Amino acid sequence: MKQRQFTIPKQSTDVPVKNPFVHKLNLGTVDVIKIGLMSFTIAPIRVVIAGILLILAWSLAAVSLMFQTKEDRQKPLIGWRKMLKYVLVKLCRSIFFVMGFHWVKVKGQQAPSSVAPIVCIAPHSSLFDAIVICVGNELSGVVSAVDHTRIPLIGKLIQFTQPVFVSREDPNSRINTIKEIKKRARSNGAWPQVVIFPEGTCTNRSCLIGFKPGGFYPGVPVQPVCVRYPNKLDTITWTWDGPEAFKVLWYTLCQFHNYVEIEFLPVHVPNAEEIKDARLFAENVRRRMAVCLDCAVTDHSYDDCRLMLRAAKLNIPASKGIIELHKMHKSLGVSFDAMKDLLDKCHTHVLNESIDIVTLDEFAEYLDIPTSENLQKLFNFFDQVESGKIDFREYVVSLCLVSGPASVDDTIKMTLQLYNHHQEGFVTRQNVTYIFKQMFRMTNEETEQLFLAVDSDKDGKITYEELRLFAQSQPEYKYLHHAYQDGSNGLPNLCALDDTFLGSKYE
């Protein structure tokens, strides 16, 4: 199947690149036969041996942590615990060897933590990228969510490496993370290196997406590390649109050999300008790595992956403009998370002031954003006929798809609230047609047929009760019923917004 194409803006490159978040694994007849045979012979043996080694590594880490005080965990490891790190390095490398990673080709030389406190690994494409941490003489610490310590077996190993923990619940987490990295960077090598995956999510290695600047804010030297998997069959790659984690793991176990190349580039020491601008620092490191990898760079980011997840959940193709809308808002200084607040504000404007058709100046006023060339582009995105006016409700619906409720049901709730005809408790034929076309990609014929079926009294409008009864009686439209089952005297209030649609795969 041909992959969707994304065109990179001219400031990045003029060459179109493949969608970095899609990986299609095309298994040939020989591949299927090999996986079938290995599944009943070598792969189970590998699982047993790797499991024994993992349990042994976990036991050593657990014993070390058992006798540590809270104060001890705030200091670099010393004595027998530091010696234990070298044992765990060998155990972890042995686990990868058992899993089929027999030959690991290493280019360049890893710098000590006193020279490069941070190791920057890209492209991040797999569960197996952790092998980079095992090729050195000691286990490096990673920037990890504190929740990861609760993962069975793996959690203790992560905790033993003394990672820099981040917490979504702590509003000061980002500041504390930067402080902690700076503290370790100034320890003259007493602390192990901190490992970051600056892309923030897994890609298919076709290009380097935008680097998140978090690991570059401390302004300390960084050693870039490039990872390649030159295998004939790519069972390694794990993206949001591709084989599931278990399949990636099992298919990889069913290969005779898995090749990986790790290249340590010279340490990148930031200049004065890069120290002041973490984004510039991150971008310069990214471009150095792209040259080494001989791949393109793209302005797609971690947030784009989140948007694609939302688009997939709502059954909206990327061609509908969900990514373009995000880019336009980003150019206006409106971040992905800030769009939720903007949605809430715009939704309230429509309900309280019955707003529909607006001009550019009115559009700027409701968004509380000064009129500019970028705002004009966003306005033109909805003004397809160049009339100088747009339906503000259409903008809010699109904003809802980009940053709002995580389900189709919640999106319908908001949409029908916006098109509630003069707050009289019904939706007109024209608005219902628009809603169904937007939400479910129906054709004109399909929306007409659905409208006639729902409009039981044939008065040219749909009441909430008509829609509720129809949705209850027609299983194929059960998703409509869910939107109204918690209220009968009008549309329910907009539910609380969150970003729980983002799976742990990308945390």
The answer to whether residues 265 and 316 belong to one domain is no
The answer to whether residues 243 and 266 belong to one domain is yes
The answer to whether residues 242 and 320 belong to one domain is no
Q: Which of 15, 33, 168, 157 is nearest to 87 (CA)?
A: 157
Tell me, yes or no, whether 219 lies in a domain.
yes
Q: What is the pLDDT of residue 81?
A: 84
Overall residue count recorded for the chain in this entry: 507
The answer to whether residues 315 and 270 belong to one domain is no
Q: What is the pLDDT of residues 242-281, one digit of tens each?
A: 888 899 999 999 999 999 999 999 999 999 999 999 999 9
Convert 167-182 to b/e letters by CB count within 10 Å (16 or more is b): eeeeeeeeeebbebbe
The answer to whether residues 179 and 281 belong to one domain is yes
Is 23:237 a contact under the CB 8 Å cutoff? yes
The answer to whether residues 404 and 329 belong to one domain is yes
> CB neighbours (10 Å) of residue 21?
25
Q: What is the pLDDT of residues 348-379, one digit of tens each?
A: 777 676 677 889 988 888 888 888 888 888 88
Q: Which two tokens stand for residue 355?
A: 């707003």
Tell me, yes or no, whether 327 lies in a domain.
yes
Residue corresponding to tokens 């320890």: 187
Tell me, yes or no, whether 497 lies in a domain.
no
Q: What is the pLDDT of residues 432-455, one digit of tens each?
A: 666 665 545 556 776 777 777 777
The answer to whether residues 289 and 386 belong to one domain is no
Tell me, yes or no, whether 274 lies in a domain.
yes
Which range of residues forms the domain containing residue 212? 5-299
Residue corresponding to tokens 């880490």: 61
- Does pLDDT of 51 surpass 90? yes
Domain count for the chain? 2
Q: What is the pLDDT of residues 483-494, one digit of tens each?
A: 333 333 232 222
The pLDDT confidence band at residue 341, using thresholds 50, 70 and 90, is confident
> CB neighbours (10 Å) of residue 458?
7
Tell me, yes or no, whether 489 lies in a domain.
no
Q: At what angle do helices 429-440 and 444-454 cross, to 10 degrees?
A: 120
The answer to whether residues 154 and 252 belong to one domain is yes
Tell me, yes or no, whether 492 lies in a domain.
no
User: Which of residues 258, 277, 299 is at a domain's end?
Assistant: 299
The answer to whether residues 132 and 116 belong to one domain is yes
The answer to whether residues 476 and 352 belong to one domain is yes
| CATH (domain of 376) | 1.10.238.10
User: Which of residues 299, 324, 356 is at a domain's end?
Assistant: 299
Q: What is the pLDDT of residue 499?
A: 27
Q: What is the pLDDT of residues 56-103, one digit of tens each?
A: 999 998 888 887 887 887 888 888 888 888 888 889 999 999 999 988
- Mean pLDDT score across all residues of the chain: 76
The answer to whether residues 161 and 214 belong to one domain is yes
* Among the ranges given (80-89, 209-218, 257-266, 382-391), the one the predictor scored with the smallest mean pLDDT: 382-391
- Does pLDDT of 421 surpass 60? no
**379 vs 325, higher pLDDT:** 379
Q: Find all residues with CB under 8 Å of 387, minimum gap 6, and list them.
A: none
Name residue 309's amino acid: L
